[in-house]
Amino acid sequence: MIHASSNEQPLWQHHSAKQTLLRWLGWFWLVAITVVSWQVMNENTIWAFVSDAPEQAVDIGSRMFPPAWGYISNLWEPLWDTINIATLGTLLGIIFAIPVAFLAATNTTPSTRFVRPVALLVIVASRSINSLIWALLLVAIIGPGLLAGIVAIGLRSIGFIAKLLYEAIEEIDESQVEAVRATGASGVQVIDYAIVPQILPAFWGISVFRWDINIRESTILGLVGAGGLGIQLNASLSTLAWNQVAMIFVVILGTVVISEWVSARVREAVL
Amino acid sequence: MLKLDNVSKTYKTGDKALHNVCLEVSAGQVVGLIGPSGAGKSTLIRCINRLVEPTQGSITLGSTDLTKLNRRDLRQARRRIGMIFQEYALVERLTVMENVLSGRLGYVPTWRSWFRKFSPEDIALAHSLLDNVGLADHYNKRADALSGGQRQRVGIARALEQNPELLLVDEPTASLDPKTSRQIMRLIRAACQERNLPAIINIHDVMLAQQFSDRIIGLRAGKVVFDGSPEALSDEVLTTIYGDEDWTQLRADATPTQNEATAVLDLAEGV
């Protein structure tokens, strides 16, 4: 905004009067919502429970310690199941996500009017439902066990991988595509020679990142009967065997640390 | 050889990029296309291989009307037209050899190109072209490991790998230093002379255009305003193409250093 000031120099301000007002309103709402939320939260809190929270935490903590180290012999098999659920689920997700991503990216979709919205709907549907809820549904449909877990992880992964992949496809350098097209290459050849090389690092990064997330998610799928460590966790929790629970936590922590390390190494290698 | 008849292009935004362009290029003729930014130079050469669809007019290469072709026939026609790009437009993450071989994509079935199974003749041609442009030892390097001048040499090899009947060259020297620019222009010029290959070269640098073309076409606001020999490019003509400027002063500043270097000598310098 330019205002003429007394010495005829245009006055420069970062924000116009309207912007300043909007910013103040924004801050006002933030404070107001915080105050209201605090009141709502307190209404439903039973303070008697909160007041002895430290003692409860110490109590459970002491029951957890030391973890039941011997219990590990019961955990190897569910751990193997968990890793399989995550890995096969990720693969399943990748297989479906790749075509969806190409259909969703504005520069590769056959039709922005009809095909793209469908692909975007698939992505949103997959992403909006948590793995645990997918698993709950699938256990009801195909019965408890590993398969339900794998399909649940796969369905949730489609949206995640497809979304990040189609964004990578949209960010490619179009001049390389133009150059390959100008040689008389077919559509598939253009994808193979001009698009795939450009998105390959992103593809590996996204896939390994999702696998890493899926390892963590598949540890809890057993809670609803979809196989893996979660089944064991559920059993130990319901028998109040806190030292076994602690042991399961240790195993989960170890697995996640290893998967983080693997995904970091893979991402390093492809970039 | 190549004939443009009444070619016009109006973009969806309503910008009229080309107005009834008529021109003919005979075999072996190197045409320098000059004009201010936005005059329609890039649009003109992209209309020829239909990376941009002309709105009106006909473009004939040999006996083929390029504007009437369906997708399949267009791909076959594009094989006959080599293109060299501004900023090289190499696929950065592929090797030099794959980039050069991509010039054969129009001739190779998709499954063969997917497995990089090119015929021995194609590979031999690629090797000899890389040798011609002085990159014989670089065939296994990734394109992004090369310098700007080297990349444009790969771009030239890719275009020649098509064994084209026509060369379209879009600002080949826009991002290169003056010396490398001249070397690249010499290479393109030599390739055209060897093969009796016609070329249309978009170029900003009037001095380079004059030195390396057989004929100059001046474009202003989508219209051909000059068509003649490089010698006929007087100050008055430059003013009709670009608008008022002190051309004598500009020529004096440029002082074309008339070194009689050949393409072979450049390669010996290893640039």
Share of chain A above pLDDT 70, in %: 97
- Residue A243's nearest CA partner among A128, A81, A74 is A74
Q: What is the mean pLDDT of residues A195-214?
A: 92
Q: What span, in angstroms and rounded, lies between the C-alpha atoms of A249 and A251? A: 5
Q: A252, A76 in Cβ contact below 8 A? A: no
Residue type, A202: A
Q: What is the dihedral of CA A233, A234, A237, A242, to 10 degrees?
A: -10
Q: In chain A, what residues touch B98 (CB-CB under 8 Å)?
A: 193
Instruction: Give the pLDDT of residue B266.
Output: 57
Number of neighbours of residue B268 by Cβ within 10 angstroms: 10
Q: What is the mean pLDDT of residues A120-133?
A: 92
For residues B68-105, b (16+ Cβ closer than 10 Å) or e, as one string? eeeeeebbebbbbbbbbbbbbbbbbbbbbbbbbbbbbb
**Residue B18 φ then ψ, to 5°:** -135, 140
Q: Where exactly are the structural domains of chain B?
A: 1-80+166-177+199-271
Give Cα A262 to chain centroid, integer Å: 18
Q: Is B225 on the interface with A (CB under 8 A)?
A: no
Q: What does the block give as tokens for B146? A: 């090369």
Half-sphere exposure of B251 (CA within 13 A, CB side): 9
Interchain proximity B105–A180, CB inside 8 Å: yes
Region of poorest pLDDT, from A4-18, A89-103, B76-90: A4-18
Region of poorest pLDDT, from A236-240, B62-66, B222-226: A236-240
Q: What is the mean pLDDT of residues B122-140?
A: 94
Inter-CA distances, A249 with A9, A101, B200, Å? 67, 36, 69
For A84: left if phi > 0, alpha if psi spans -120 to 50, otherwise beta; the answer is: alpha
Q: In chain B, what residues touch A193 (CB-CB under 8 Å)?
A: 91, 94, 98, 102, 105, 113
The C-alpha angle A204, A210, A215, rounded to 5 degrees, equals 125
- 8-state DSSP, A65: -
Q: B110, A188 in Cβ contact below 8 A? A: yes
Interchain proximity A175–B49, CB inside 8 Å: no
Confidence of residue A105 (pLDDT cuts 50, 70, 90): very high
pTM for this model (two decimals): 0.81
Q: B78, B49 in Cβ contact below 8 A? A: yes
Q: Is B95 on the interface with A (CB under 8 A)?
A: no
Q: What CATH fold (topology level) applies to the domain A71-270? A: MetI-like fold (1.10.3720)
Q: What span, in angstroms and rounded, lies between the C-alpha atoms of A163 and A213? A: 15
Q: A100, A116 in Cβ contact below 8 A? A: no
Q: Is B72 on the interface with A (CB under 8 A)?
A: no
Q: A217, A131 in Cβ contact below 8 A? A: yes
Instruction: Give the pLDDT of residue A42.
Output: 82
Q: What span, in angstroms and rounded, lies between the C-alpha atoms of B32 and B41? A: 10
Q: What is the mean pLDDT of residues B192-218?
A: 93
Interchain proximity A176–B102, CB inside 8 Å: no
Q: What does the block give as tokens for A118? A: 């469908």
Q: What CATH fold (topology level) applies to the domain B1-80+166-177+199-271? A: Rossmann fold (3.40.50)
Residue A5 has pLDDT above 80, yes or no: no
Interchain proximity B91–A176, CB inside 8 Å: yes
Sheet holding B64-65, edge to edge: B16-25, B2-10, B56-61, B64-65
Q: In chain A, what residues touch B110 (CB-CB under 8 Å)?
A: 186, 188-189, 192
Region of poorest pLDDT, from A13-17, A141-145, A210-214: A13-17
Q: In chain B, what residues touch A183 (CB-CB under 8 Å)?
A: 78-79, 83, 102-106, 158, 162
Please tell me the distance in Å from B107's CA to the nearest CA on chain A.
8
Instruction: Give the pLDDT of residue A231.
Output: 86
CA of B72: which chain A residue's CA is closest? A186
The C-alpha angle A23, A25, A30, rounded to 5 degrees, equals 95
CA of B85: which chain A residue's CA is closest? A179
- 8-state DSSP, B262: -
Please tell me the distance in Å from A172's CA to the nearest CA on chain B.
11
Half-sphere exposure of B76 (CA within 13 A, CB side): 7
Mean per-residue pLDDT of chain B: 89
CA of A172: which chain B residue's CA is closest? B91
Q: What span, in angstroms and rounded, lies between the C-alpha atoms of A236 and B256? A: 86
Segment A67-82, tens digit of pLDDT: 888 888 888 888 999 9
Burial class (CB in 10 A: 0-12, 13-18, 19+), B161: buried
Q: What span, in angstroms and rounded, lies between the C-alpha atoms of B212 and B266? A: 16
Strand B223-228 to B215-220 pairing: antiparallel
For A39: left if phi > 0, alpha if psi spans -120 to 50, otherwise beta; the answer is: alpha
User: How many pairs of residues across A and B have Cβ atoms under 8 Å apart?
Assistant: 79
Region of poorest pLDDT, from A260-264, B32-36, B151-155, B221-225: A260-264
For residues B223-257, b (16+ Cβ closer than 10 Å) or e, as one string? ebebeeeeeebeeebbeebbeeeebeeeeeeeeee
Residue from the list B89, B104, B110 with its beta carbon closest to the beta carbon of A178: B89
Q: What is the mean pLDDT of residues B93-113?
A: 94
Instruction: Give the pLDDT of residue B258.
Output: 47
Q: What is the crossing angle of helices B120-132 and B148-161, to 10°?
A: 140
